[in-house]
Every structure is written in C-alpha cells, then in structure tokens.
Chains A and B, each alone.
Chain A
Amino acid sequence: MSNTPKSRQGRQRVQEKRSLLPFYLLLGLTGIVGLTFVFIQALQTPVAPPSASIPVRPNIKAAVGQTSEGYWYKGDPKAPVKIIEFADFECPGCRQLEVDLANANFDAEYIETGKVQWIYREFPLRSIHKSAQYTAEVSRCAGDQNVYWPVHMALYDSQIQWTNLDNPNPLILDAAVQAGADLDTLEDCMDAETHKATIDASYDSAKSLGLDQTPTVFINDDRITFVGNYYTDIKTAIDAKLGVTP
C-alpha cells in the first residue's frame, strides 16, 4: 500500500468530506424544515380577508365638493336622499362601514346614479382614539389639494396599520401621499393647524346634537339603526325613502 505525501493528502480530503457529511445533512434538514414551516405559516388563509383592504374606486363619477358648512360630500346635492355620516377615521366600525359599502359597490349603485348625496361630518372621538383628530385634519388638508375622497378612503384602508401606534403620523401621512396628496403641502397645512378649528367645530356640533358614538348615520334626518351589515341596513333605509319595494 502506498504512503506517499500525495496519497496521504487524498485520504485526508476524503476524511474531511466524510466529517462534514453530518453537517451538510443537518444544514439541509434545517433548511427543509424551516422553509416548510414558513410556507405553511405564510400561506394560511387570512382570518378575515374582506377586511384586509378596501376596494377603492379610483374616481367617483359624481359631483363632489363641500357643503355650505364646509363638510365634504359626494353625490348630487339635489339627490332625493341625503345621508349624513358622523364618523371618526380611527373608529373600527366606521372602517367596517366603508368596507361593506365598497364591497357592495355602493357608490356605483347610489352615488353615481344621482339617488344619494353622502355628507361626511367629522366626529373625532379624541378621548379613545388618539389619531382621530390628526387624521380628520389630514383629510381636510388633502381636500385643499382636491384629493379629499381618495385620501378619505386611504385613511380608512390604512387604519389597521397606524391605529394604536406610538408614532402613527408618518404612516398616516404616507397613506395620504400614496392616495395622491403632496407631502410638503400636507405637512405645511398640518403644521399651520389650518383645519384644527374646523374639526373642533365639527366635533362640538356632533356633541351638541347629543351624539356619542360613531358611525352615526342619518338618512333625510332619520337616524339609521344598524343591526347587521352596514350596506344592507343603509340600502334598506334608502330603498324605503325612494319607495322601492324589495
């Protein structure tokens, strides 16, 4: 049997490769187990898929603007049905209302057909929602840039991402920017507290009406009592006003 330096080196290499084999096996096994676990975990169906995001209509094909009191509306001001919503951008129920209406394509059915004018009145529940006032002001500042409704929807859509954060403002501003607002103009507007007094007045106005919860929705001055899906309850109330029999 030969015992030259070359053959000794060859044997050494074979021994090294053999000694690394358990390591390779363990590494491979760890990779397979780890990646399988990750795939199973990540590919699980979400618990509540409809709440994940709000299907936003890119443009509302109807009149949008501000009422004489300054509240933003969508839909023909001469529409037979006038709906006033008192809401808070950080209220989960208000978000769910937007989700239900968007999933049912409410705007196409009622706003864009001239049947309903929808007026949004800010009622920021500041004692329980620390970003309520800020988001309401952001939406008004976005309104100054003619992107009120896209930002309105974006704030609700992103609510689950910024609510209860220690510092939610960057995410709120980011949502507004992604919806079309200009960041510098938005920040100037917020720094100047341009709409603080307006939102304060809106809050006081809702309190003076005796309201204490959101969303509160009036249809031609009658308050809607919600019992189930927001869309179904609102549709029932609208159809009753329009004299539509189900």
Chain B
Amino acid sequence: MDERPYWPRMAMAFLALGGLINASYLSIHRLRPTQSAPLVCGVVGNCEAVQASKYSVFPPSNGIPVAYIGFVGFLILVVLSVLSLQRNQLGRFSLPTINLGLASVALAFSAYFTAIEAWVLYEWCQWCIISAVVSLLFWALASFDWWQARRATNAEPLETANATAV
C-alpha cells in the first residue's frame, strides 16, 4: 500500500497553481499588449524590457511566447499534482516519475531564462523570478515524492516476504 505522505503533493499543487496564476498574468499582457495596463514590476528590474526582448518567445525571435508555454506547463502540473493525490499510475507510467520529468523540464527552462536575464539582457522581471523559484521548489518536492514512491516500491516485496515468514 502507498504510504507516501500527502503534503509534498499538496504543496506541489499549490506551487503549480501559483505558477499558473503568474503565467496567466503574463499571457493576458502578451495577448493584449496595448489594451492592458503596464506590467506591475515593483522595484525589481524592468519587466517591460524583458517581455519586449526577443527572448520572450521560444525559440528566440520567432517562437511561441514564453508566457503561453508557462501557462500550459503549469496547468499540466496542477492537474498532475491533484491527480497524483488519488492514484500512482497514469496508464502504465508512474505519476511521481512523470511529475519529476516535467518538473525537470520546467526547471531547465527556468534556468535558461534566468541565465538570459542575468548575462544577456542584464535586466530582471520579478514575474520570471517568481516562476523560476516556483519551478525550483516544485522540482525539489517532486524529487522527494519520487524518492518516497521508489522507497515504498522497493520496500513492498520485503514486507510481503516478512508477512509470509510470520
């Protein structure tokens, strides 16, 4: 029986939801650039500059807006996080493994965009930083959850063997 703690998956769902809300804000701004109020950027960096750069789409210059990629990505992570509270498998694939795989992709994307901000644009956008932090925390929790699931799977035959011996 699966005895993994629930809290990592619950936290993952909340984090992914936060990332989804964040990406929604940027996506709406991207869809209606002149009809939307300017991006709220606080005191950190220059969001408009980052959003206007050629790196705001992927691949750069002629790709899909990064905000849309983030929206779809976080939406999938929310659904999978909630789903993984109810089941361990999606088809023949292990949900903790799927979560960790997607979290790794999200983390790689975030690392790439953070590097662009730091060493190419020399500008920061707080929404991108929030997204990167969410991706990092989600990845850490997904790794923990995956490790717990793996440990439970390895422990099961041993428990069965002990039960038979008794």
Decide whether A and B assemble into one complex. yes
Residues of A bordering B, CB below 8 Å: 20, 23-24, 27, 30-31, 34-35, 37-39, 41-47, 49, 52-53, 158, 160-162, 164-168, 170-171, 174
**A38 engages B21 (CB within 8 Å):** yes
**A41 engages B122 (CB within 8 Å):** no
**B36 engages A43 (CB within 8 Å):** yes
CB distance from B5 to the nearest CB of A (A): 13
CA–CA, A21 to B10, complex, Å?
12
Partner of A166, one of B37, B85, B123: B123
Known: A52-B34, A53-B34. A171 touches B52 (CB 8 A): yes
A-B contacts besides A27-B17, A31-B21, A34-B17, 17 pairs, CB < 8 Å: A23-B85, A27-B13, A27-B14, A35-B24, A38-B24, A41-B37, A42-B32, A44-B37, A46-B38, A49-B35, A53-B34, A161-B52, A165-B122, A167-B121, A170-B53, A170-B121, A171-B53
Which residues in B have their C-beta under 8 angstroms from that of A158?
A: 52
Which residues in A have their C-beta under 8 angstroms from that of B28?
A: 38-39, 42-43
What are 12 A-B pairs with beta-carbon distances under 8 A? A23-B13, A27-B14, A39-B28, A47-B37, A52-B33, A158-B52, A161-B49, A162-B49, A167-B123, A170-B120, A171-B52, A174-B54
CB distance from A76 to the nearest CB of B (A): 33
**A27 engages B37 (CB within 8 Å):** no
Residues of B bordering A, CB below 8 Å: 6, 10, 13-14, 17-18, 20-21, 24-25, 28-29, 32-38, 40, 46, 48-49, 52-54, 82, 85, 120-123
Interface of A is mostly: helix
CB distance from A172 to the nearest CB of B (A): 11
Which residues in B have their C-beta under 8 angstroms from that of A164?
A: 46
CA–CA, A43 to B29, complex, Å?
8
**B53 engages A41 (CB within 8 Å):** no
CA–CA, A231 to B23, complex, Å?
40
Smallest CB gap from A158: residue in B: B52
Known: A41-B40, A49-B34, A160-B48. A20 touches B6 (CB 8 A): yes
CA–CA, A46 to B37, complex, Å?
4
Which residues in A have their C-beta under 8 angstroms from that of B38?
A: 46-47
CB distance from A43 to the nearest CB of B (A): 7
Closest 7 CB pairs of A and B: A167-B122, A42-B28, A34-B21, A44-B37, A52-B34, A161-B52, A38-B25
CA–CA, A160 to B123, complex, Å?
14
Known: A31-B21, A41-B25. A165 touches B123 (CB 8 A): yes
CA–CA, A38 to B6, complex, Å?
29
**A42 engages B123 (CB within 8 Å):** no
**B49 engages A165 (CB within 8 Å):** yes
Which residues in B have their C-beta under 8 angstroms from that of A24?
A: 82
Which residues in A have their C-beta under 8 angstroms from that of B17?
A: 27, 30-31, 34
Smallest CB gap from B23: residue in A: A38
